[in-house]
Amino acid sequence: MFMDSRTSEINPEPVPESVFFSNQLPRLFKWSFYIHVEDVPEDLLEHCVWALEMFIRAFLEGSNAQLSAVGHIGTDLTDNEYEVLKQSMILNAKYKAAIHMLTPTVNRAEGAVSYLNDVVTQIEKIQRYRGHNPMTNDRDIYHTLADALVRSGANEEARAILERLFDSDPIDATVTGVFDVASTRVRLARVLRNLRKKKEARKHEQWVVKWLRKNPHLLSDESLRALLIQVGETTSPILEALGGPSWIDNRGHTDKTDLGLVRKCMQCSAREPLVKLSVCKRCNKIYYCSSDCQRKDWPYHKACCSDIVEVQRRIEQMAISDATAAQKMKDFQAWLISEIAIPTCMLSAFITTLREERHIWFWRSVFRISDVLCEVERLMGLNPGEGTEYIQDLLSDTKATGMEKTVNFLILSNGDGVYTWLGVDSKPLRLAFGCIF
């Protein structure tokens, strides 16, 4: 028996060890379950795995009354609701424990394989019941299982999973989909080399090398290292083909590589090489993956397209009398369509859909729109009161394009010798929780 930590009542049932620890260490158990896996400090990884495994055991060994008493479940659930919640929480705990087990600090690949197999089995049941293909909707989990299998020496099993992923459609053609395809190829090449099938491995490696040379800055340094360097190693065939480990730190920016950062369909954000992009023939700046996407975006691109064409005409005229000023204007145009990291990082401090309505970035800082509206109107050459309408139209047009799960940032750019520009940059809306169901 034990005392309910919330009500101080005595529960007479025999208490499993896992439920006892849940009652004694409630904060540790909740912390281990709800924290993002990447936020767990290295020196607490083993403790986190222990708590997660005890958490799993508590759900398997404890009664409804005991689990309710320690705060793992509510008190007014039906039997069906309890079973659904139980399975969801067990699988989330198993997935998080498996991620921690694959870190160099814990290094328990066999245990990770066991948990991940349970997770995949349940996910496949859920997705097929919903009529979805789990190989499309939950590819990250299959990648993680393949990594665990390779680490535990089960290369043939890993190969079978990765080849199924490779033959399945990615979730989309955005940067997420492209990265997913690259991740599958990297892992498949690694497994094929382990199986002494170097010729097959090189085909995947060459694809990844070609893609990274064209898009060296699409992924962060951390993401590149995680993708290209296996745990316990310092390099890889792909990294050596790019120039060795120093390539990650020394890859430079060029106009061509910077253009690659923004070279995507303006309507759906699809990217090459998963789709073929074509440029707007009128402005030669904006890309689309299909005529359908171009038609959908035209009501919103029309005004911008005319502005770009007009600026290009002015630059050509300016070049006749002042080549330096014309080049400055041309460089400003190129900068405007580049991937602007600093402003969005500043605004990302509080990345919410409310912040997009209230803040603007200019003069190398972030301001409330209401505080600087008069200055925005002056710089834009607008009459008093027109700034609010202009900003609302910008945000409305961007939202009307159908882009979902994004936050739109207002950015005002100006300088000596160039015109003032007020535009919108969109970034993904990051979820605050780490659960997989």
Tell me the pLDDT tens digit for each residue of 232-243.
889 999 999 999
Please give the residue that has the higher pLDDT: either 366 or 23: 23
**Is position 378 within any domain?**
yes
**Is position 415 within any domain?**
yes
Number of domains the chain contains: 1
Separation CA 95–CA 89 (nearest Å) = 10
**Is position 430 within any domain?**
yes
Please give the residue that has the higher pLDDT: either 169 or 435: 169
**Is position 262 within any domain?**
no
**Is position 353 within any domain?**
yes
Average pLDDT over residues 193-217: 95
Report whether 217 contacts 257 (CB < 8 A).
yes
**Is position 16 within any domain?**
no
Does 86 have pLDDT greater than 70?
Answer: yes
Separation CA 176–CA 161 (nearest Å) = 20
Q: What is the pLDDT of residue 431?
A: 33
Does 351 have pLDDT greater than 50?
Answer: no
Dmax (CA) of the chain: 93
Q: What is the pLDDT of residue 180?
A: 93
Report whether 429 contacts 353 (CB < 8 A).
yes
**Is position 257 within any domain?**
no
- Please list the alpha-helical segments (H only) found in 243-340: 246-250, 255-262, 291-321, 323-336
Measured from the Cβ of residue 382, the count of other Cβ atoms closer than 10 Å reads: 16
Full domain range(s) for residue 346 = 340-437
Please give the residue that has the higher pLDDT: either 326 or 364: 326
Instruction: Encode 295-321: b = buried (16+ Cβ within 10 Å), e = exposed.
Output: ebbeebbeebbeebeebbeebeebeee
Q: What is the pLDDT of residue 1?
A: 59
- Please list the alpha-helical segments (H only) found in 235-290: 237-242, 246-250, 255-262
Separation CA 298–CA 305 (nearest Å) = 9
**Is position 203 within any domain?**
no
DSSP-assigned beta bridge partners for residue 426: 408
Average pLDDT over residues 354-372: 64
Output DSSP code: residue 405: S
Q: What is the mean pLDDT of the chain?
A: 84
Separation CA 54–CA 60 (nearest Å) = 10
Please give the residue that has the higher pLDDT: either 201 or 418: 201
What amino acid occupies position 242? L
Q: What is the pLDDT of residue 293?
A: 95
Average pLDDT over residues 67-90: 82
User: Which of 240, 230, 232, 234 has its CA nearest to residue 208?
Assistant: 240
Number of helices (H), then strands (E), in the chain: 21, 8
